[in-house]
Amino acid sequence: MFDEMWGRDGALRSPYAHFNGWLEGEDPKRLRAKQREAEELFRLTGITFNVYGQAAAEERLIPFDIIPRIISGHEWQKLSRGIEQRVRAINAFLHDIYHRQEIIRAGRIPKEMIARNDAFLPQMIGVSPPGGVYTHIVGIDLVRTGPGEFYVLEDNARTPSGVSYMLENRETMLQMFPELFSQNRVRPVQYYPRDLLRSLAASAPAASSEKPTVAVLTPGIYNSAYFEHAFLADQMGVELVEGHDLRVVEGRVAMRTTKGYRPIDVLYRRVDDDFLDPLNFNPESALGVPGIMDVYRAGRITIANAPGTGIADDKAIYSYMPEIVEFYTGERPLLENVPTWRCSEPEALTYVLDHLDELVVKEVHGSGGYGMLIGPTASKKELKDFRRKLKARPGNYIAQPTLSLSTVPIFTRTGLAPRHVDLRPFVLVSPGGIRITPGGLTRVALKKGSLVVNSSQGGGTKDTWVLED
């Protein structure tokens, strides 16, 4: 197992050299007090997350660990190239799949993977978003297994969340340990809200004013990521709106103000496709805006991310990402996928059923760690129940080997202890280019031996440092 601070042989790795020198000079009592202080800061700020599917549905604090995850500048440079290549391919794939579908004509992806996919939106066929951008905000989930071994675990191209925790993690560390940032050349992340606003404004329809009006659409206070919606709207200095605040006025989407309705140029939506427009999608939805898709198709508003982007982060499509990257870029992928079995294929299903106790099985449309099986830690009953689900709906699942994820130390009552982590870097895409925030959200499994890092499943977060050199 690879530890990012101590390597495989127990020798301190160079990115952690300055930090470790500081850590060895610290009183454990002071660090314990700082950990409590961090928890209190999160409580006062209201950094919360709703956990669905539990008897007690109240909000809970996001656990935060004060030991940062540190990535060298050289490592980040390599990751950035791979992330940018992948994001460009995803956008090219989305344009193609809603237009000429050349990748299907070329036989690189089976037609049924698109035609029978719930994430494919027929209403987007022939629609070209302003500036040609489909995924304005992307989160690429990465895992690490060795010094230079990174894999893409998942692509988040619909409404990726977690950036507010990245920003608050850094703010908390700056408040508690300012001396660390004078001793370590850590690249900043605090400009993300400014960069997000600029990127969204740059993606406005061509007919927009010189200073486009941007707003954030939230499902409301009961959504698990409402804190983030409100946080980002506040940080960007734009309005946070709900569906009932918006209506179509003279062919434009407009928001209610004290001076009447004001047209919007760019809507950063955090509402799922199905609830976006009751006239075009789910007629029961009270979260969206009746007629917004008609305005969008007429090119009079930018919706970020574009409707229909879910087809690009579907887990069955994920298994084709190496082919997708190569098809649209003409290059081999710089970041590898985790090997994946598509359970819709009879031969793959047979293998997965025979090796269920060794594999991780995920729902094709699942997220947040829900609906998945981790074979090596599952009980006999869980394996039996999941085997039945697989046989009933094989096309609903993919399977992957259980990777030996890297660990990073966390601070516990008895000292440092290794825990598994993943990383979600955040990417902004506009007609002017791609910007990758140096770092991202490190999620950490707080339970010893656990591989589940999702906040919704009891995981925590860390500040992620990318060093200048």
Q: What is the pLDDT of residue 60?
A: 67
* Per-residue tokens: 333: 């992928």
Distance CA(321)–CA(312), nearest Å, equals 9
Q: What is the pLDDT of residue 42?
A: 83
CATH number for the region 341-401 comes to: 3.30.1490.270
Distance CA(229)–CA(207), nearest Å, equals 27
Question: Which residues lie across from 267 on neighbouring strands?
Answer: 215, 303
Q: What phi and psi values does residue 188 have, to the nearest 5 degrees?
A: -75, 150
The whole-number mean pLDDT for each consecutive block of 10 residues of the chain, a chain of 469 residues, reads 93 96 94 91 73 51 91 96 98 98 96 90 96 97 94 94 94 94 94 98 92 97 90 97 96 94 97 96 94 96 97 92 97 96 94 95 74 88 94 93 93 91 97 97 91 77 94
* Per-residue tokens: 468: 């200048």
The residues, any chain, with a CB within 8 Å of residue 319's CB and separated by 6 or more, are: 337, 340, 342, 398
Is residue 438 within 8 A of residue 34, CB to CB? The reply is no
Q: What is the pLDDT of residue 102?
A: 98
Pairing of strands 460-466, 397-401: unpaired
Q: What is the pLDDT of residue 48?
A: 62
Give tens-digit pLDDT for 99-131.
Answer: 999 999 999 999 999 988 889 999 999 999 999
Residues of the chain above pLDDT 90, percent: 80
Q: What is the pLDDT of residue 454?
A: 77
**CA-based nearest residue to 172, from 50, 51, 16, 44:** 44
Instruction: Output DSSP code: residue 31.
Output: H
Other Cβ atoms closer than 10 A to 24: 7
Distance of CA 296 to the CA centre of its chain: 25
Q: What is the pLDDT of residue 57?
A: 46
Q: Which residue has the tokens 């690490």?
A: 144
Domain extents in the chain: 14-338+403-466, 341-401
Q: What is the pLDDT of residue 459?
A: 85
Q: What phi and psi values does residue 51 have, to the nearest 5 degrees?
A: -105, 115
The residues, any chain, with a CB within 8 Å of residue 332's CB and separated by 6 or more, are: 325, 326
